[in-house]
Amino acid sequence: MPREGVQRGREELGDDGVMEGTGDNGTFTAAADYKAADLTQLSFRRGERIVVHQQMSNEWWWAELGGCFGYVPASYLTERDPLQDLGEEDTWQDDEYFNSYSKLKLQQEMLADRVRTETYGAVMKRSRAWLRGKAVLDVGCGSGIISMLCAKHAQPSRVYAVEASELARLTEQVVRCNGMKDTVRVLQGRVEDVELPGSVDCLVSEWMGTCLLFEFMIESVLQARDRWLRDGGVMWPSTAALHLTPCSAQREYTDKIGFWDWQYELDFSQLRTEAAKEYFSKPKHDHQMDPDDCLAEPCCILQLDMSKVQTSELEEITYEFIFEVKKAGPMHGFAAWFSTEFKCPDSNPSIILDTGPMSTATHWKQTLFMLDSPVAVTPGDFVVGSVALRRNPVWRRHMSVAFRWRVAPSTDAPDAIGEGQKTFPLWR
C-alpha cells in the first residue's frame, strides 16, 4: 500500500523535527488499514506506528509515517495496540447498546410512532393470505409489537421473536397476556447465537437508525438472512434508501450562533466561530425540517436490496452529487433521511415507510449536518460534491459522514460562491 503524503524538507520543521505551531504530538497505532484519497493524506496498515504532529480537528490529524507527512483520519488511530488481544474491550459495545433498548422509555417512543408501527401492521394485513401457515423471524423484536401484529392479522404457523436485551422476559409476559404464546415464541439472545428448528419463510425487522445505518443492526439482520431465510423467502423491509438535500436551517443557526451577536448590550460575536465548532461538530439526529427548507430536489445516495446486500459493502459508501438550487436562501448544510419499501407477495403496490420532511413525521425525523458558515444561494446555482459514509474500523456500531462541496453559478464555473469539506462522526 503506497503511503502517499508529502515529503517535507527540514526547512519546514522546527529544531526538533516537528512542524512549527503544533503541540499535540504523540505516537499512535493504526487500528485498521487506510488508503489515502489524495496526495494530502497518508496510507497505512493496521498495526503501523504513526507520529501525530497536530490534531487539526476531531476528524483529521496531521501525521508522519516513514518520512512522509499527511492527514490521517483520527478514528483509525488508537493509543493501544489493536494487534493485541481486545478481549476486555467490546468494540460492538453490546452491553451499552442492548441495555438502551431494554428501557421502556425507548420502547414507548417507538410504539408511539404510529407511522412506523402502523406501516408494519399494514404489511401484515396486506400479506395475510401469503403469511398464513408460514414461519416468521422477527430480529430485535423489542416490545414484540411486530411479532404480535403478524400473529393477529396473518395466522402464521410460528413467529420467532428474537430480542437480545433483558426486555425479552417482559415481552414474553405481554405475548402471554394477549393469548399468543402458541404462535409467538420469544427467544432471548443475539440473533447470531440463537438456534431455530429450521429455516423461515419471512424475516422482518425494524433495524433502521440515524442515517439509515447507524448502530449497524443491519449486520445482524443480514447474518440472520444468510443463516435462516429459505431460498426465495421474503425480507421486510425489502429495500432501503438514504436521501440527501442541501437545506436551510435558520432557526438552528440563530439559536446556536446568532445568540452570540449581542447579549446584555455587550458584543459576544468573538465567540461565534468557537460556537459553530462546538455545536455543529456532530450532526443533529432528531431535526424536524420544514419542507420549505429544502433548497433542491433530494437525491438518493444509497439504495439497498435487502435480499442481496452484503455486510462488506457497507464499510465505505461514496456518492458524487450535483444539486440544482430551486429556491433562494442561506444554505446552512445538508439534511438526510431514509425510506424503506415493503414488497408484499401477490399484492401490488408496495408499502412505503418514508421518514422525509414531505411525509408525516416519525420518531426518526431527519439528520441535519450543519456547515460552520452558511452560503447564500439562488435558483440556478449548483451544489456539487461528494458524501462518504465510513464505518468506524474499531467501534463497529459507529460511523462518520464526510462531505466535500462547492457552490457555483454553474457546474463548471471557475469561481465558487463557497466551498469546503467537513466530516461528522456518528458518534465516535
pLDDT, residue 187, reads 98
Active site residues: 206, 215
Instruction: Render each residue's pLDDT in the chain as its tens digit; 428 residues.
Output: 545 555 443 333 344 333 333 345 789 988 888 888 888 999 988 878 899 999 988 889 999 988 889 999 988 888 865 545 444 567 778 888 888 999 999 999 999 999 999 999 999 999 999 999 999 999 999 999 999 999 999 999 999 999 999 999 999 999 999 999 999 999 999 999 999 999 999 999 999 999 999 999 999 999 999 999 999 999 999 999 999 999 999 999 999 999 999 999 999 999 999 999 899 999 999 999 999 999 999 999 999 999 999 999 999 999 999 999 999 999 999 999 999 999 999 888 999 999 999 999 999 999 999 999 999 999 999 999 999 999 998 889 999 999 999 999 998 888 999 999 999 999 86
pLDDT, residue 356, reads 98
Q: Which residues contact 114 (CB under 8 A, 6 or more apart)?
A: none
pLDDT, residue 3, reads 53
pLDDT, residue 394, reads 84
Name the strands in the sheet holding 316-324, side by side, starting at the edge strand that comes first in the sequence.
Answer: 316-324, 382-391, 399-408, 418-426
For the whole model, what pTM was predicted? 0.83
pLDDT, residue 21, reads 35
Q: How far is CA 161 from CA 136, 137, 287, 300, 425, in A?
A: 8, 6, 31, 32, 32
Q: How far is CA 17 from CA 49, 80, 246, in A?
A: 17, 24, 43
pLDDT, residue 11, reads 33
- Give counts: helices (H), strands (E), the chain: 9, 21
Q: Which residues contact 369 (CB under 8 A, 6 or more apart)?
A: 283, 333, 334, 335, 336, 401, 403, 422, 424
